[in-house]
Amino acid sequence: MTSLEAAPAALARSEARTARSERLRLLVRSRTVIIGLIVIALWIFCAVFPGLVTPHDPVFDNQFTPNLSPTWGHLFGTDTNGRDILSRVLAGSRNVLLIAPAATLIGTVLGTILGLITGFFRGVVDDAAGRVIDAVMSLPLIITAILIVTAIGKSGTWVVVLIIGLIFSPVVSRTVRAAVLTEGELDYVQAARLRGERAPYIMFSEILPNVMSPVVVEFTVRLGYAIFTVASLTFIGFGVAPPSPDWAAQINQYWTLIDPYWWMTLFPALAIASLVVAVNLVADGVREVYER
Amino acid sequence: MPRFLLKRLGLALVTLFLLSVIVFAVSSVLPGNVGRAVLGPFATQESVDALNEQLGANRSLLAQYTEWAGGLLHGDLGTSLSKQVPAWDLLGPALSNSFKLAAVAFMICVPVSILGGIVAGLRYGRLTDKGITIAGLSFAAMPEFVSGIFLILAFAIWLHWLPVTAQWEEGAGPLTQVKYLLLPAMTLTLVLFGYIARITRAGMIEALDSDYARTAYLKGLPSSVVIRKHVLRNALLPTIAVVAVQVGYLVGGLVVVEVLFNYQGIGSLIYEAARQKDLPLLTAGVLVVGITYLLVTLIADILYAVLNPRIRLGGLE
């Protein structure tokens, strides 16, 4: 008897597994997704093992003649402090690869919780939250971030992570809420209500697993925006000002010298471009696969 | 239609009120001690107290908000700490400069993006479509300062076609001004192109696939007429909504672009205010940006309703 009762659940589980492997198969079949994944993997490798990839030390000043334009000895040239720019670019992915995923994770988790609550309870809770979210979203991300950093009077890795996470949460909540609203109409939610299940149980154990698709899509898309925002904040000097090399910080330092020292700005800019484009190619592939 | 308008206007007012509360809360509550936050850790206690007295920051938050919001209703946005002039005297000219840049950006961006979207939609699934989609996606993802640097390098430093900054000399004619604004406007265009082209493309594909398009083809209309009269009209409707949201983005993207090109608009004013810890000016600037966004989206919603017969004739709320 027990095996018969367990059968439907096992069937549902194996169906879910088939769906997941099917999505994965579609994902790796896309050429743009593969290119994106390779670029991201390369930058992650550089961030984890900077010592293995940099030809010279990326931090110490006056190792070489300053302001050398690109040559065979220094493919990307040297900067005003006499450091090898290739080494600095290869070592510069660390901050952004730490901050952006952390901020996105916080934003996605908070946003999912908020979306579940507003979509599940609807009514007054939803209306009130909706208005506040409207008000927050009427300010551009960068401007809100500048205001908060100035108001608390300091910036730093975790300040930036928290700010971006907090500002992302309303955007994520909108998407999750829309998905929860459609789920709420379905029989299994009604059944759970009739069984007398408590609201948190229905939200997190019944609805959440069924709205994971939009949550995953939202995470990948937000990750691209997070890199965009971290880099922009660092460029205008409101992000992290690390002692370690950072692409946007390098550009912040050297872009006023762009004529004639173009190589000090161009190569970090290309590095940022490669990372954001790679993340967005993957995000686009993920969205296509999940929304079909 | 009137009901729709009233409802939309009411919502905008509620959002505006909440926006003012949020901006006030961030700039007055977060610092803990406003005077200390402005003057820094090394200022004497007396000067901190004096500044708090001057700003009225030593009173209850409710009293502070009421006075601030009351001032706003009379058009008083507060006084800049660093320049000691009414904030609006600085924000007004900066805002009009930003509008100038935004207008040039829009005049380039909207036609180019819509055209790109239409071409991609008509060539759905082919190489042209993929090229436009991936290029749009890539530039939309790139921070403005990155694409801006590529444009500066290409057009200003290597080709010498356009100036490096957007700072023209006093008394320059409108054409010269446009020339100085081209690079920043192109930077904004690159970011916006992807969004607008994408939504136009989606609208095109949906409209091309619709029953009414098939009927039009089957009753023997030439495809140019089908596309012009049936497909485009329906495909461009969602584009309007997206364009409006992007105007709002434009105001935010301006911070980075204006700093990069050294242009005296609202974005660089907010940036300067933040760097000098001029909280009153910063708060006023942020609020002005929020209000601009709300106004633009309000106008766009109304425009959308006027153009969409389903809302205009009162079928949908």
Letter for the amino acid at A35? I
Range A173-189 average pLDDT: 87
Range A19-26 average pLDDT: 79
Same domain, A176 and A117: yes
| Dist CA B75 CA B91 (whole Å) | 12
Instruction: Find out whether A234 and A93 touch, Cβ atoms under 8 Å.
Output: no
- Between B205 and B245, the more confident residue is B205
Closest CA to B25 of B236, B286, B202: B286
**Which residues 142-201 of A have a C-beta within 8 angstroms of B?**
142-144, 146-153
Whole-number mean pLDDT of chain B?
82
List chain B domain ranges: 2-73, 95-316
Instruction: Find out whether B266 and B100 touch, Cβ atoms under 8 Å.
Output: no
A contacts of B256 (beta carbons < 8 Å):
142, 232, 235-236
Tally of CB atoms within 10 A around B37? 22
Same domain, A107 and A216: yes
Contact across the interface for A146 and B277, Cβ inside 8 Å:
no
Contact across the interface for B275 and A237, Cβ inside 8 Å:
yes
B contacts of A139 (beta carbons < 8 Å):
19, 23, 252, 286, 289-290, 293
Range A74-82 average pLDDT: 78
Domain count, chain A: 2
Same domain, A291 and A178: no
Question: How distant is the Cα of B291 from the closest Cα of chain A, in angstroms?
Answer: 8
Chain B within 8 Å of A269 (Cβ-Cβ)?
A: yes
Contact across the interface for B149 and A251, Cβ inside 8 Å:
yes
Instruction: Find out whether A92 and A245 touch, Cβ atoms under 8 Å.
Output: yes
Domain boundary among A197, A224, A240: A240
What dotted CATH number matches B95-316? 1.10.3720.10
Range A36-64 average pLDDT: 84
Dig out the tokens for A54 from the structure. 């940099």
Range B163-171 average pLDDT: 75
Q: What is the pTM of this model?
A: 0.85
A contacts of B138 (beta carbons < 8 Å):
273, 277, 280-281
Residue A233 covered by a domain? yes
Question: Rg of chain B over CA atoms, in angstroms?
Answer: 24
Task: Name the residue among A134, A143, A259 with its Cβ closest to that of B270.
Answer: A143
Task: Name the residue among A150, A232, A255 with its Cβ closest to that of B143.
Answer: A232
pLDDT value at residue B311: 64
B contacts of A145 (beta carbons < 8 Å):
none
Chain B within 8 Å of A134 (Cβ-Cβ)?
A: yes
Same domain, A174 and A214: yes
Contact across the interface for B140 and A143, Cβ inside 8 Å:
no
Residue A9 covered by a domain? no
Contact across the interface for A277 and B27, Cβ inside 8 Å:
no
**Which residues 49-78 of A have a C-beta within 8 angstroms of B?**
none
Contact across the interface for B294 and A138, Cβ inside 8 Å:
yes
Same domain, A137 and A255: no
Residue A102 covered by a domain? yes
Task: Name the residue among A136, A153, A237 with its Cβ closest to that of B37.
Answer: A153
Residue A1 — very low, low, confident or very high, per pLDDT cuts 50/70/90? very low
Question: How distant is the Cα of B299 from the closest Cα of chain A, in angstroms?
Answer: 14
Residue A145 covered by a domain? yes
Whole-number mean pLDDT of chain A?
84
pLDDT value at residue B317: 43
Question: How distant is the Cα of A135 from the closest Cα of chain B, in angstroms?
Answer: 5
B contacts of A251 (beta carbons < 8 Å):
145-146, 149
pLDDT (tens digit, 9 = 90+) per residue, A110-168?
999 999 999 888 888 888 888 888 888 888 888 999 999 888 877 788 888 999 999 99
Q: Which chain A residue's Cα is nearest to B282? A: A147
Residue B94's H or E segment, with its range, is helix B87-122
Domain boundary among A222, A240, A258: A240
Chain B within 8 Å of A128 (Cβ-Cβ)?
A: no
Which CATH number belongs to the domain containing residue A189 in this structure?
1.10.3720.10
pLDDT (tens digit, 9 = 90+) per residue, A187-233?
888 888 888 888 888 888 888 888 888 898 889 889 988 999 999 99
Task: Name the residue among B31, B145, B248 with its Cβ closest to that of A251.
Answer: B145
| Dist CA B117 CA B110 (whole Å) | 10
pLDDT value at residue A10: 65
| Dist CA B134 CA B130 (whole Å) | 6
* Helix, coil or strand: residue A185: coil
Task: Name the residue among A150, A259, A273 with its Cβ closest to that of B274.
Answer: A150
Same domain, A34 and A147: no
Instruction: Find out whether B80 and B90 touch, Cβ atoms under 8 Å.
Output: yes
- In chain B, % of residues over pLDDT 70: 95
* pLDDT higher than threshold 80 for residue B1: no
Which range among A73-77, A93-97, A187-191 shows the weakest confidence by mean pLDDT? A73-77
Residue A15 covered by a domain? no
Contact across the interface for B22 and A146, Cβ inside 8 Å:
no
Domain boundary among A240, A260, A281: A240
Dig out the tokens for A141 from the structure. 């991300």
Dig out the tokens for A170 from the structure. 């309303």
**Which residues 213-232 of A have a C-beta within 8 angstroms of B?**
224, 228, 231-232
pLDDT value at residue A39: 94
Closest CA to A240 of A98, A43, A143: A98
- In chain B, % of residues over pLDDT 90: 4
Residue A18 covered by a domain? no
Structural domain harbouring A51: 24-89+243-292
Task: Name the residue among B138, B271, B283 with its Cβ closest to that of A236.
Answer: B271
pLDDT value at residue A92: 84
* pLDDT higher than threshold 50 for residue B101: yes
* pLDDT higher than threshold 90 for residue B208: no
pLDDT (tens digit, 9 = 90+) per residue, B115-129?
888 888 888 888 888
Same domain, A74 and A49: yes
Contact across the interface for A272 and B289, Cβ inside 8 Å:
no
pLDDT value at residue A106: 96
pLDDT value at residue B137: 84
Same domain, A32 and A78: yes
Residue A9 — very low, low, confident or very high, per pLDDT cuts 50/70/90? low
Same domain, A158 and A66: no
Range B13-33 average pLDDT: 84
Dig out the tokens for A175 from the structure. 């998407």
* pLDDT higher than threshold 50 for residue A84: yes
Residue A258 covered by a domain? yes
pLDDT (tens digit, 9 = 90+) per residue, B214-261?
888 888 888 888 887 778 877 777 777 677 777 767 776 788 899 988
Question: How distant is the Cα of B309 from the closest Cα of chain A, in angstroms?
Answer: 25
Same domain, A163 and A225: yes
Instruction: Find out whether A96 and A273 touch, Cβ atoms under 8 Å.
Output: no
Same domain, A247 and A170: no
Residue A103's H or E segment, with its range, is helix A94-121
Same domain, A202 and A269: no
Question: How distant is the Cα of A253 from the closest Cα of chain B, in angstroms?
Answer: 12
Residue A75 covered by a domain? yes
Strands in A215-257 per DSSP E: none
Contact across the interface for B143 and A231, Cβ inside 8 Å:
yes
* pLDDT higher than threshold 80 for residue B291: yes
